[in-house]
Amino acid sequence: MENYLNFIGGEWVGSVSGEKHEHYNPAKPNECIGSTEVSTPEDVNRAIKAAKSAFKGWKATSSVARGEILRKAADILEERADDIAKSATLEMGKRFIETKGEALRGASILRYYAQEGYRKTGEVLPSANAGSTLLALRVPVGVVAAITPWNFPIAIPIWKLAPALVFGNPVVWKPAQETGITAAKIAKVFEEAGLPAGVLNLVLGRGSVIGEVMTEHEDVTAITFTGSNAVGQTIAQQATANGKKYQLELGGKNPAVVLADANLDLAARLVVEGAMKQTGQRCTATSRVYVEAPVHDQFVEKVIEQAKQIKIGDGLQEEYTMGPVASKKQFDTVTGYIQKGKEEGATLLYGGEALDINGGYYIEPTIFGDVTHEMTIAKEEIFGPVVAVMKVADYEEALEKANDTIYGLSAAIFTTNLEKAFHFIEHSEVGMVQINGETGGAEPQAPFGGTKASGQGPKEQGQAAAEFFTTNKTVTFNPFAK
């Protein structure tokens, strides 16, 4: 059984404590797949010191050269996609076809940001003073703390690391403890691509022990975090109190609206995909569906038929289309919400049962009807294969209820009415809108993130990433001053 180390200052090192965390396959919980170090605050302090020491040289490196390292990393990641994807599947249960797609997506993200090294790093502005030139430059912010979740253990870290690095920032990265093996393999990719020592540092351990050290350390300038709302709010408070820049991508309770004129077969298929892909463990997963009354019953039948086609089993086996949830903790959380839905009066239309397959953490695709907005399953993020279908009188009621949430990440509408589609684009209170598409999905070149309780700070990905990972420096140039 291999033990994976921290990566600090260009070296693979054990933690000060010597404590190990064993990783078990959620499809076969008795199967130990390896171990990782459990970092201490002292380990984190060493990593931050290494990053700070590397900053001067890294920001002085040509952005073109920094981009070239990312391009090499993309090639290495693509070559190792199968191995890294398998590690992710064994650690958190997502199907291999999904984790491999995530690895290839990570390579695309790296290639996109490699090209950022060739883009402009500022602009020339006119000055009111004759003979003067104004330069507005984009410069790196400094040491970045990146804290990433277990549900997308490849893509989310890379879409944080790639822009941070190409814009000239060193990084201290703490992945979720559940996916530390996958993280170590990703760090190895960057090492072999030629990153200088100290530019990327990996610490493996419990967020409750080392997270606060990262967010409050005086040498950390910016914090990028994806995870729960509770932890995110704590980070926001700490960052604000310590004058640090922060970027939060948090939860979602994403609605889909199905109008009577929609292609119901398409809508049913994409609603089920949106709710059940990655076993529902996505912040952009479809969680609430509002269906106009004339087609409600027909739509429900089609959704159930789609759910019946899902085959549940080990994510390494191609014949299965949904794997287990990531852990016993997640299993208990999701089954608890299903039980809560029943107790509060929702009708269980399909699924809802735990399955005993090799002792794994399997839950059937679950569809609820007769859900009201006062019910827990209508308000709280479940992060599992559970969706609530609700009948509405018309588009206006659907829009009102879709917006009736603290979250604002993603929303979808299924319709052939262009007027209502554009109205939904304007009035849906989310950061991302899909027209005749499922609520999930993102591309490297487009901003990613939500509004309200779903996100704070500059958006991720695309050109928007520069807003967070750089800061403005204004220069007045007077070459002929006397």
Cα–Cα distance for residue pair 470/379, rounded to 1 Å: 36
What is the per-residue pLDDT across 5-21, written as a single tens digit (0 to 9) for each? 999 999 999 999 999 99
Instruction: Find the range with the poorest average confidence among 135-149, 328-342, 468-482.
Output: 468-482
Q: Do 263 and 355 reside in the same domain of the chain?
A: yes
pLDDT band at 478 (very low <50, low <70, confident <90, very high): confident
Residue 481 clears pLDDT 80, i.e. is over it? no
Q: Are residues 96 and 228 both part of a single domain?
A: yes
- Predicted pLDDT at 422: 98
The confidence band for 162, taking pLDDT boundaries of 50, 70 and 90, is very high
Q: What does the pLDDT average to over 326-347?
A: 98
| Cβ contacts of 340-345, under 8 Å, gap ≥ 24 | 340/376, 340/377, 341/368, 341/371, 341/375, 341/376, 341/377, 341/386, 341/388, 344/375, 344/376, 344/377, 345/370, 345/372, 345/375
364-418: per-residue pLDDT in tens? 999 999 999 999 999 999 999 999 999 999 999 999 999 999 999 999 999 999 9
> What mean pLDDT do residues 263-274 have?
98
Residues 311 and 364 in one domain: yes
Q: Are residues 83 and 176 in the same domain?
A: yes
For residue 249, indicate whether it is catalytic: yes
Beta bridge partners of 249: 226, 455
**Residues 216, 357 within the same domain:** no
Quick check: 479 pLDDT over 80? no
Retrieve residue 367's tokens. 């569809």
Do 156 and 236 reside in the same domain of the chain?
A: yes
Which amino acid is located at 187 in the chain? A
Q: How far apart are CA 33 and CA 357, in angstroms?
A: 18
What does the alpha-carbon distance between residue 91 and residue 203 come to, in Å, rounded to a whole number? 17
44 is a domain residue: yes
Same structural domain, 234 and 313: no
Segment (H or E) for 37: strand 28-37
Task: Write the DSSP assignment of 388-441 as a string of letters.
Answer: EEEEESSHHHHHHHHT-SSEESEEEEE-S-HHHHHHHHHH--SSEEEESS-S--
Do both 133 and 223 map to the same domain? yes
Structure tokens at 193: 């691509």
Among 257, 255, 309, residue whose Cα is nearest residue 285: 255
Residue 408 counted as domain residue: yes
DSSP state letters, 175-219: --GGGHHHHHHHHHHHHHHTPPTTSEEE--S-HHHHHHHHHH-TT
Query: What are the tens digits of pLDDT across the range 207-257?
Result: 999 999 999 999 999 999 999 999 999 999 999 999 999 999 999 999 999
**Rounded to whole angstroms, how far apart are CA atoms 250 and 147?**
12
Specify the CATH number for the domain of residue 363.
3.40.309.10
Is 349 found in the same domain as 330? yes
Q: Quick one: pLDDT at residue 441?
A: 83
Mean pLDDT throughout 449-475? 95
This prediction has a pTM of 0.96
Q: What is the mean pLDDT of residues 62-72?
A: 98
Residue 130 — very low, low, confident or very high, per pLDDT cuts 50/70/90?
confident
User: Per-residue confidence at 480, pLDDT binned at 50, 70, 90?
Assistant: confident
Task: Provide the domain limits for residue 80.
Answer: 3-250+454-476
Query: Are residues 57 and 120 both part of a single domain?
Result: yes
The yes-or-no verdict on residue 482 having pLDDT over 90 is no
**Quick check: is 298 in a domain?**
yes
| 287-311 residue pLDDT tens | 999 999 999 999 999 999 999 999 9
Domain count for the chain: 2
Looking at every residue in the chain, the average pLDDT score rounds to 96
Contact 25, 31 (CB under 8 A): yes
- The pLDDT tens digits of the residues spanning 163-194 come to 999 999 999 999 999 999 999 999 999 999 99
pLDDT of 442 reads 84
436: left (phi over 0), alpha (psi -120 to 50) or beta: left
Tokens of 228: 């729960």
pLDDT of residue 405: 97
pLDDT at 209: 92
Q: What is the pLDDT of residues 423-447, one digit of tens each?
A: 999 999 999 999 999 999 889 999 9
**Residue 111 and residue 144 share a domain:** yes
Based on the fold, state whether residues 418 and 286 are members of the same structural domain.
yes
Identified catalytic residue from 98, 249, 292, 381: 249
Query: Do the domain assignments include residue 482?
Result: no
Sheet holding 171-174, edge to edge: 11-13, 6-8, 200-202, 171-174, 144-147, 222-226, 245-249, 455-456
Going by the DSSP 8-state scheme, the letter that residue 322 receives in this structure is: B
pLDDT given at position 120: 85
Residue 357 lies in a domain: yes
pLDDT band, very low/low/confident/very high, at 121 (cuts 50, 70, 90):
confident
Q: What is the pLDDT of residues 278-292, one digit of tens each?
A: 999 999 999 999 999
Q: Which two tokens stand for residue 41?
A: 């605050």
The per-residue pLDDT for 158 is: 98
